[in-house]
Structure 1
Amino acid sequence: MKKILILGANPKNTTNLRLDEEVREIKKTLQLSLNRNDFQIITESAVQVDDLIRFLSNHQPTIVHFAGHGSGADGLALEDDSGQMQLVSTEALGKLFSLFQHIIECVLLNACYSEVQATEIHQHIDCVIAMNKAIGDKAAIKFSIGFYTALWSGMNYKDCFHMGFTSIDLQGIPEYLTPVIKIRQRNQGEQSINSPISDEEPVGKQTVNQTNQNQTNIASGNTVSGDFNFSPKQEGTKDT
């Protein structure tokens, strides 16, 4: 049985996200699957930094799904003891996942500007999916629905990724280009896929100044307008 560990964090001083809806839709797709007995979904909410080691050690997941806010090079936004935002660094996340590389097959970072974390984690985990820009709640949820519908049906992670962004595209949402995947087969080279056409360079790479601005806007609760297809921004965007 494959275990999917969903970690959610929506600190008090960040924009409210529809994380409960995302989890509910993922569970719904599993309930409708003929292969539902082959998977187990475990959810943990209001995740704090100290929880990461505890949850990964206790649950021993096959897939780790993070739903929350990202801040580019500054890290992912978890919660401190008072429920406020506490960033966990990219380097620390890489070291953490290196300890579980014999267990975890795939990491899905459903958070804005999380590609930098994906690159670091991919040094240890064969398949990592992330977002190269800001992504709205609706697109993030549609990606999850498509990805897990494919997973429950027995597709490989690459095809699950394609199903995820296709689910966004079918809704007419331009953010289907936002998800990126870094995937390899052990001892058979590495692929980096950022759109239906495999590419070496990610689509819409953020500049250093934009990345720094992302962290500022997370802390202040303002929205960020991206330079590719995020203007006007959708309500509930995950980068704030």
Structure 2
Amino acid sequence: MTPTHRDEIMPTARAAHSSPPLVVLFSANPSSLTRLDLEGELQDIVDELEGVGLEGVLALESQSATTPRTVQRALLVERPTVVHFSGHGRGRGARPPRRPGRAVRDLVPDPAPARTTGIMLHGDHDADLKVVSGAALGDLFAKAGSTVRLVFLNACHSAEQADALVQHVDFVIGIDGAIEDEAAKAFAVALYRALAFGRTIEASFELALNALMLEDLRDDRTRPILRCRRGADPRRARLVEPPPRDDGRAWDVFISYASADEEPVRRLAEELHHRQLRVFFDRWEIGLGEEVRQRLERGLDGCTHGLIAMSPRTMTRPWVQAEYSALLDKATTHGRLLIPVLIGRETTTLPPFLRARRLVDLRGLTTEAYRERVGDIAQALRGRRPGPPSRLRRRRTRD
């Protein structure tokens, strides 16, 4: 469905054929400051999206030991939709943490009013750290951040920077006060989970606040804040469309297979279902007493794409031949996908049309490799190509 309001689905500057929104996660923990579990924060986000079957819905790229130069470079080269900063922040005064002994994203040892407030990054040269002010960040995003729709400053005392940034970015999340490392991670995980599920910016922010309450990490002296540029509506804006509901009338993919291969096909169907895809697998969609042919035809008519599980037995079955013919017509007439997937252990001969298609081989894989291949299938069914590797991850860090 085409959005009717500019804020309903945030555009991404990447290829127009529906690449996922790019989230660049910057982290900085200069050696002179308290060590924070910033790598753990990124891994928790990745693990959570994988856990709910939404890996790849958001394209996550990370840069550790971030310097001012790498931030500017990333905005110019990567053109992200979301920019996330994790690390320390410096405010105009420090308050003691709610629970002494816990790591806090704050310069607690210096209670005097700070001369320069901002986000703490690594220095570009010999300097251990660099304080980047809200004014400097705002100026950067005004000049090089035209694709950015959301900035998340996951650092203490970043509300002031959020106020400066929101003049140039639709939505900015910051922290008013000093936040514990554990709370900062929990908030980030809940925020990106909700965004990946297609919740609006406001709803995602509220769910992240709720996560702090559920985990007893809320501190009344510290609160995440959401700032919105004039004209940007957080109640409508979202990064991605919500996963469609399983309504029994439409499916993302129809799986065609020989009944003798039910066991490996069921595993594949379950993996795709876990990734929030609507799967027509006949064992799930044909109830007792229902007419089989009618229900299969309904599935073929209502599916967007097709997947055929290939083994030596597949094309010898009349049912599969009929399904293949219908899916082939969709592929050639309407440009839909028909993905050949090799299962079992035997060598399989593909029909001419499938031989010209990029296939997926699930035979003899480890569990990790299997899930990675199924993830590739899920991405294809969502209309996304693999794309090139991240430019950020290859860069040398300065930890």
> Normalized against structure 1, the TM-score is what?
0.74
Q: CA deviation at 1:187?
A: 6.4
* Contact 2:54 2:196 survives alignment (8 Å): yes
Q: CA deviation at 1:188?
A: 6.5
Poorly superposed stretches of 4+, deviation over 6 Å: 187-190
Residue number among 117, 134, 154 corresponding to 1:74 in the alignment: 117
Query: What runs of 5+ residues in structure 2 fail to find an aligned partner?
Result: 1-19, 92-115, 236-399
SS of alignment partner, residue 27 of structure 1: helix
Give me the whole-angstrom Cα distance separating, in 1, the residues matched to 2:230 and 2:59.
24
**Higher relative contact order (Cα pairs below 8 Å, separated by 6+ residues):** 1
> Normalized against structure 2, the TM-score is what?
0.45
Say which is worse superposed, 144-153 or 24-33, in terms of deviation: 24-33
Give me the whole-angstrom Cα distance separating, in 2, the residues matched to 1:173 and 1:115.
19
Residue number among 92, 98, 107 corresponding to 2:142 in the alignment: 98
Q: CA deviation at 1:101?
A: 4.3
Give me the whole-angstrom Cα distance separating, in 2, the residues matched to 1:83 and 1:160.
37
Q: Tell me which residue corresponds to 2:61.
A: 42
Distance 1:99 1:16, change over 3 A: same
Q: CA deviation at 1:165?
A: 1.1
Read off the aligned partner of 2:117 and give its amino acid letter. D
Q: CA deviation at 1:59?
A: 1.4
Computed over aligned residues only, the root mean square deviation of the Cα atoms, in angstroms, reads 2.0
Q: Tell me which residue corresponds to 2:79.
A: 60
Q: Tell me which residue corresponds to 1:201.
A: none
Give me the whole-angstrom Cα distance separating, in 2, the residues matched to 1:189 and 1:47.
29
Q: Tell me which residue corresponds to 1:126.
A: 170
Read off the aligned partner of 1:108 and give its amino acid letter. F
Q: CA deviation at 1:82?
A: 3.7
Give me the whole-angstrom Cα distance separating, in 2, the residues matched to 1:57 and 1:39.
20
Q: Tell me which residue corresponds to 1:32.
A: 51
* Contact 1:46 1:83 survives alignment (8 Å): no
* Contact 1:11 1:83 survives alignment (8 Å): no
Deviation digits for residues 32-72 of structure 1 (CA, Å, limit 9, x no counterpart): 34443332100000011111111111111110000001112
- Matching of residue 178 in structure 1 with residue 220 in structure 2: no
Read off the aligned partner of 1:70 and give its amino acid letter. G
Q: Tell me which residue corresponds to 1:135.
A: 179
SS of alignment partner, residue 145 of structure 1: helix
Q: CA deviation at 1:185?
A: 6.4
